[in-house]
Amino acid sequence: MRALVGLVAVALPVVAGAADAGWGYFGGTSGGTRYSTAKQVDRENVGDLAVAWRYSTGELRRRGPELIANSSTQTTPIVVDGSLVFCTPFNRMVALDPATGRERWVYDSEVSLDHALPYHYNCRGVSAWRDPQAAPGSACATRVFMGTNDSRLVAVDSRTGRACSDFGQAGQVRITRDWSDKFAGESKITSAPVIAAGVVAVGSFVMDNIRTDAPPGTVFAFDARTGEPRWKFDPIPRDPADPAFATWLEGSALRTGAANVWSTMVADERRGIIYAPVGSAAPDFFGGMRKGDNLYSSSLVALNARTGKPIWHFQTVHHDIWDYDVSAPPLLAELPHGGGTVPAVVQNTKQGFVFVFDRVTGKPLFPIEERPVPQRGLPGEWLSPTQPFPTRPEPLVPTEVTPDDAWGFTPWDRHKCRELIETFRSEGIYTPPSEGPGTLLTPGSAGGANWGGAAFDAKRRLMIVNVNRVAQVVQMIPRAEIPGIEGISLARGKDVAAATGTPYGTRRDWLLSPLGAPCTAPPWSELVAVDLASGDVRWRVPLGSIEKQLPIRFEWNLGTPSLGGPIVTAGGLVFIAGTMDGYLRAYDIDTGEMLWRHEMPAGTQATPMTYEVGGRQYVVLVTGHHLWFDSPAGDEVIAFALPRRGK
């Protein structure tokens, strides 16, 4: 392993006060547990939560409707050096007083504004690091890192927001890939950096299904103090001497892109291991140009934080042609196993599977079986005969749709849904994409679980995760039938993608009735509690109401598609937003009973967070537009707290 200069540095967030419960990482903790020790707000008083303060970033006015429409607000703040720090979709970093919402400083990265729809602007979070060699109170003793939509990594002083001049060139390093983007926004950094062993590492978003030779999904790591490059890890092995190269038949690793880490990585700081959730290779739905299992695409990979070398890996999908990226951040936990306690890593997937491993060795804690899956792919396609299935926990979402599963508000639309399902190829999960009417993806490529990930209560050994339960139709279109299309065309929830370099483009749509509702039975999104000691599902409840789609508004909790994840608190509560109905909700962690909800003024496709400062607990959510949900535009950070005594 490469020796580090000076002391071994660790990521150390500085929260509002030594006795306060903080939120120092995007995922609450370095292991992404999204758990807070704050307990002032509990099951008895959560109904009294009220808005404590609001702050507007000004992005609505600053950017205008066209740019806002091409953005998604998914950010979760952190608390560092007594400030609440977050990023806007346009990479402005903002620090607020966590008790009042008063602005303390703003850093504008002056991101390039030439991204065309739908290559949208997004920034999920920032990360903080305390330099153990820096004198307390000195400039950039604690710095905040942010990746940008134009592929830079910036570092600013946590107290002032000024660029750290000793990091890279005037506080930033520019990511340079081996292959260039075809257009602005094809690749970018959208998720919070991860920091371990004195290095700061970033993955990248690469636009899906555009072309076979997409930009590579390389993870880049830099010295957290100087910005000097430390290592890179390309999940597609380009070296023929690498044993994983053999899983790309006919040398296709040299011609393929993506397999990118676009979601959030987490770190076991003590052991110096970074856990990287890797996406699918390009393009998403036809793999005839990249035959073979395609390691390390669609895998969880444990990396040595000092060298970037893989320690172990597990591929959740062999030869992924369903866009089943490993999209949820891994979750680190201590779990009982074999009469003792094992340091574990838990990986939720779009398929609704939960894989649980010893995070040091990669050994599964619950058995995983290779099971036969449907075959008969398109001409020229290559299919894996089997796929891995965890034996526990059970799949969190349905993995098959038949005509008998058709659902409707009335007998008429149920009949229409049955007719519709009968037209598609549908043989259960991993049915290959097809021409003609198309193939049903169950679950759809939005999940199952997605980038919001899960939360974990260590005392209860209970994992809470939101999952989507809507099937998707994928139709492969011969190249001759889509002349002139380059990139992705969006229209009313459908998209047509070029997938250049293959014989087919792709059309995707949701499986909906003539009335616009899913053709499968509700709930269409659920909040699920899983006992990670036994693998049992403890409870599951619908997540979201369709009240805003009804002619007469009333609460009807059939679930709505959701993006963004839950958090849990020592007060016995689960907080989650993410739904299409625009509510922030609180649930009893032991029963799943909804105890409180508050309607927000704009889109809620972000994960909330919580902290205590000055003896008061706050629950915070950043609201704003979301491109895929077409949620209402907004730019507010909204904090909730219990009323002060005497008021």
Catalytic residue positions?
Answer: 323
φ, ψ at 85 (rounded to 5°): -120, 135
Q: What one-character-per-residue DSSP string does 290-318 give?
A: S-S--TTTTEEEEEETTT--EEEEEESSS
What percent helix, strand, coil does the chain show, rounded to 5? 5, 35, 60
Which segments of 34-74 does DSSP mark as H helices, in order?
59-69
Q: Which burial class, exposed, middle or buried, applies to 531 when counting CB atoms under 10 A from its CB (0-12, 13-18, 19+)? A: middle
Assigned token pair, 444: 């759809």
φ, ψ at 318 (rounded to 5°): -80, 130
CA distance linking residue 111 with residue 473, whole number of Å: 36
Amino acid at 232: K
Beta-bridged to residue 195, according to DSSP, are 200
Instruction: Tell me the helices (H) and strands (E) count for the chain, helix number first.
Output: 2, 43
Q: Would you call 46 helix, strand, or coil by DSSP?
A: helix
Residues 444-478, buried b or exposed e (16+ Cβ, 10 A)? Answer: bbbbbbbbbbbbbbeebbbbbbbbbbbbbbbbbbe
Assigned token pair, 231: 């290592």
Instruction: Give the residue from 437, 425, 408 showing the smallest Cα distance to 513.
Output: 408
